[in-house]
Amino acid sequence: MPRSVEFAPARRAARRDRDARQCVARFEVYCTRFLDHDGRVVADLPPFARDARALLPMYRAMALTRQFDQRAVALQRTGRLGTYPSSYGQEAAEVAIGAAMTRADVLLGTYRETGAMLFRGVEMHEILLYWGGDERGMAYAGAQAPREDFPIGVPIATHAPQAVGVAYAFKLRNEPRAAVCVLGDGGSSKGEFYEALNAAGVWQLPVVFVIVNNGWAISVPRETQSRAQTLAQKAIAAGIEGEQVDGNDAIAVYDVLDRALAKARRGEGPHLIEALTYRLSDHTTADDARRYRAPAEVERQRALDPLLRLRTYLTREGVWNDADEDLLRAEHDARLEQAVNTYLAADAPRPSAMFEHLFERLPAALQGQRDSVSEGPSE
Amino acid sequence: MNEITLVEAVNLALASELAADPRVVVLGEDVGVNGGVFRATAGLLERFGKDRVIDTPLAESLIAGMSVGLAAQGFRPVAEIQFMGFIYSAIDQLLSHASRLRNRTRGRLTCPLVLRTPFGGGIHAPEHHSESTEALLAHVPGLRVVVPSSPARAYGLLLAAIRDPDPVVFLEPTRLYRLGKEGVRDSGEALPLDTCFVLRDGGDITLVTWGAAVRETLAVADALANEGIGAEVIDVATLAPLDMPTILESVGKTGRCVIVHEAARNVGVGAEIAARLADEGLLTLHAPVKRVTGYDTVMPLGKLEQEYLPQTGRIEAAVRELLEAA
């Protein structure tokens, strides 16, 4: 069986050839970045980004995500929404995931994928409904809704094997589509993640795993999750390609995703991307991150704000200015106002709704319980 | 009509449905080239190809989770967990996802999967290969739990499980896999889910059971018949959702009930049946409801497993106690 052997210095070559231990494999992990922290171009831009105006849809979506998060947190603080996980600081990674996917691709994400969900056409009032305690929020009933996307994944990484099943379905039907599984740095410690990554490699499935590494799994920092130098290198054990990307650089995340997705859709196998970003918010509105991380660290990270980085670049390129920004915020405020009103105006679900989608047809054994619940407000 | 064993009936149902429905795929450890460690999937790879008969990596959570993904995409995955003792890492997928995907998306995504697994004791298998933990699954809303107890019911119920639009856990009694044959025609006709099967009529006492214990229970009923005692034997077959009307009707007639199951007694499915009898059938009872079950101990290894399992002697003693009581 052929094997690669590491190169040894020439003078020791003869001796090394007789070593019992020979190098059989070597690996490298790359990280991609186009914009530095100050929004300056540090590498040749990919074709899609050469006209800065093409980046405006992503910028607008990032800004909307932030405004949505701020509004959701405000609703929670005033008792009008349940626990909510903000994606403050992660907007570039989230929105670029949504932007790089086609409508035919399928998203399987965590509870912090608001940016990707909005970009894919999930309605704002539906996301609010869900976090407000109403299952109808995951019905994705809107006209542009990604009907095959999985609902928000609450247990950590259990959606990774499901993404393998979705990708296997695409492969069986010979469809040029990809499944995108988004999880966190914490999720990369779970068995399901490894099982899924491994199987995707075995079958060369059209699935792209994205670890949105925001540095913290609630209170547990990245270095406590794994001794591995990068999380991207976890792909190596599964025999698939893995790489890092600056998760606060929307251009880089889009570029890396776009290439990985195109490869997957061509039937050339899965990919793992580790997007390096930072959770500027608490884990959820029920969390207080000051208990476990230093304010100075958060302040340092606040200076690396992905939204500010892209805005700086777009402004420097002359395709964005303060007036545009004011207009955009006003437009978003109006849309948010409408979404919040729709959410708050939704009737409470009928108690019988508990039984409506348990099975396709309610078994006779449950009919008595169904009949015993009071009707209450209509759905 | 061919005389076949229970495991052959499982194989026949899988082949039948793979042939009839292109959405059906079979997956699991050793199900392809090897045809399954019990031969339940023998010959399927050759007939239906490796895309639809999938040898998976050794990862139970993957098998169950991948089935959820396939099912949500419109396929009909029939996954095998090699022994019930290895199902536990897959249970997260069943509890957290398969059983509630329809509900949490308001019917947008559904999960028509089947998870098959051999279960139960009596074959002198290694540790972790003999437990009956069906109550863990029967407790989960949104999940069907089905247990066949004969080749014909294995065939008909498995077809029904595969065609069902919701997730089904299909528990196959290992001890019955090759214990006796029955004529089964490959008719493509499913048996009803959510329905008990009355295997034997009788007017004096009702014996409620499922899985491999059906065998000992029927043997006791036969012996009692020689004495002129009529024991009605009910095979519950679908443990969740539970068909109580059939059980209540029988107990309404006999006034006595013994529930027989291999699983430990504490919080077993028998407890639910007994509670429902107390709730809805108390006034028809002549005597207390008795349970003959495995003990509330760890399932012993081979040397003691016959002591653990409900033997005919223990079942008969419970029956006589009730007949003497009233």
pLDDT in tens, chain A (379 residues): 334 444 445 555 555 668 999 999 999 999 999 999 999 999 999 999 999 999 999 999 999 999 999 999 999 999 999 999 999 999 999 999 999 999 999 999 999 999 999 999 999 999 999 999 999 999 999 999 999 999 999 999 999 999 999 999 999 999 999 999 999 999 999 999 999 999 999 999 999 999 999 999 999 999 999 999 999 999 999 999 999 999 999 999 999 999 999 999 999 999 999 999 999 999 999 999 999 999 999 999 999 999 999 999 999 999 999 999 999 999 999 999 999 999 999 999 999 999 999 999 999 999 999 999 977 544 4
Choosing from A259, A265, A271, A283, the catalytic residue is A283
- Region B13-27: mean pLDDT is 98
User: With contact defined as beta carbons under 8 Å apart, do A77 and A150 qualify?
Assistant: no
> Which of B18, B54, B62 to substitute to test the interface with A, most A CBs within 10 Å?
B62
Question: Is there a catalytic annotation at residue B129?
Answer: yes
Of the partner residues A147, A154, A358, the one whose CB lies closest to the CB of residue B103: A358
Contact A268, A204 (CB under 8 A): yes
Q: Which residues contact A15 (CB under 8 A, 6 or more apart)?
A: none
Angle among Cα A54, A58, A59 to the nearest 5 degrees reads: 100
Q: Establish, for the pair of chains A and B, how many residue pairs have beta carbons separated by less than 8 Å.
A: 142
Backbone angles phi, psi at B320, to 5 degrees: -65, -35
Q: Which residue has the tokens 């590498």?
A: A43
Do B97 and B68 meet the contact criterion of CB atoms below 8 Å apart? yes
Distance from the Cα of residue A242 to its chain's centroid: 16
Q: How far is CA A141 from CA A107, A145, A147, in A?
A: 16, 6, 8
* Single-letter code of the amino acid located at B12: L
Contacts of B142 in chain A (CB under 8 A): 358-359
Q: What is the mean pLDDT of residues B138-151?
A: 98
Which residues of chain B does A151 touch, with a Cβ-Cβ cutoff of 8 Å? 101, 104-105, 109
Residues B247 and B206 sit within 8 Å (Cβ to Cβ): yes
DSSP state of B45: H
Domains, chain A, in order of start with CATH, read 26-346 (3.40.50.970), 350-379 (no CATH)
Q: Report the C-alpha dihedral over residues B58, B171, A190, A246, rounded to 10 degrees.
A: 80
Name the active-site residue from B129, B139, B261, B286: B129
Helix or strand run (H / E) with residue B90: helix B88-93
Distance CA B94, CA A62 (A): 35
Shortest Cα distance from A159 to chain B (angstroms)?
Answer: 7
CB nearest to B108's CB, from A140, A164, A166: A140
Per residue in B52-83, pLDDT tens?
Answer: 999 999 999 999 999 999 999 999 999 999 99
A-contacting residues of B 44-73, CB under 8 Å? Answer: 51-52, 54, 56-57, 59, 61-73
In this prediction, residues B100-126 reach a mean pLDDT of 97
Q: Are A273 and A254 in contact (CB under 8 A)?
A: no
Q: Provide CATH code, domain B197-325.
A: 3.40.50.920
Strand order across the A241-246 sheet: A31-32, A241-246, A271-276, A207-213, A179-184, A106-108
What is the distance between the alpha carbons of residues A210 and A274, in angstroms, rounded to a whole number? 6
Counted residue by residue, chain B has a size of 326
Tell me the whole-structure pTM to 2 decimals. Answer: 0.96
Residues β-bridged to residue B76: B24
Read off the tokens for B249: 């009707």
Chain B window 287-326: which residues touch A at a Cβ cutoff of 8 Å? none
Taking CB atoms and an 8 Å cutoff, what residues of chain A touch B89?
A: 191
Q: What CA–CA distance (Å, rounded) separates B197 from B23?
A: 29
CA B8 to chain centre: 16
Q: Mean pLDDT over residues B196-218, rounded?
A: 98
B82 neighbors B117 (Cβ within 8 angstroms) = yes
Question: What per-residue confidence (pLDDT) applies to B326?
Answer: 80
Give yes or no on whether B2-184 and B197-325 have one common fold. yes
Q: What is the mean pLDDT of residues B287-311?
A: 97
Of A143, A146, A153, A161, give the one whose Cα is nearest residue A184.
A153
Distances from the Cα of B217 to the Cαs of A303, B224, B258, in angstroms? 74, 11, 10
Sign of the CA dihedral with A5 first, then A7, A9, and A11 last: positive
Provide φ and ψ at A62, rounded to 5°: -65, -40
**For position A371, what pLDDT does the model report?**
95
Q: Would you say B130 and B304 are in contact if contact means Cβ atoms under 8 Å apart? A: no
Domain boundaries along the sequence of chain B: 2-184, 197-325
Element of type H or E holding B59: none
Query: Testing the interface with A: which of B105, B145, B280 to mutate, by most A Cβ within 10 A?
Result: B105
Tell me: the pLDDT tens digits for B259-286? 999 999 999 999 999 999 999 999 999 9
Q: Taking an 8 Å Cβ-Cβ cutoff, which residues of chain A contact chain B?
A: 108, 135-136, 138-140, 147-148, 150-151, 154-155, 158-170, 172, 179, 191-192, 195-196, 198-199, 202, 356-360, 363-366
Helix (H) or strand (E) holding B173: strand B168-173
Are A278 and A215 in contact, with CB atoms under 8 Å apart?
Answer: yes
Q: Hey, which residues does A213 pair with through a beta bridge?
A: A276
Chain B residues near residue A169 by CB distance under 8 angstroms: 69-70, 73-75
Portion of chain B with pLDDT greater than 70, in percent: 100
Q: Which CATH number fits domain B2-184: 3.40.309.10, 3.40.50.970, 3.30.70.870, 3.40.50.740?
A: 3.40.50.970
Length of chain A as a residue count: 379
Across the interface, which of B59, B102, B165 has its CB nearest the CB of A195?
A: B59
> How far apart (Å, rounded) are the C-alpha atoms in residues A153 and A122?
15
Question: Cis before residue B22, ω within 30 degrees of 0?
Answer: no
Nearest to A199 among B57, B92, B194 (CB): B57
Give CA separation, B299 vs B123, B130, B131, B234, B304, in Å. Answer: 13, 7, 6, 25, 9
Please classify residue A316 by burial: count the beta carbons closer than 10 Å to its beta carbon, then call 0-12 exposed, 13-18 middle and 19+ buried: middle
Is B16's pLDDT higher than 80? Answer: yes
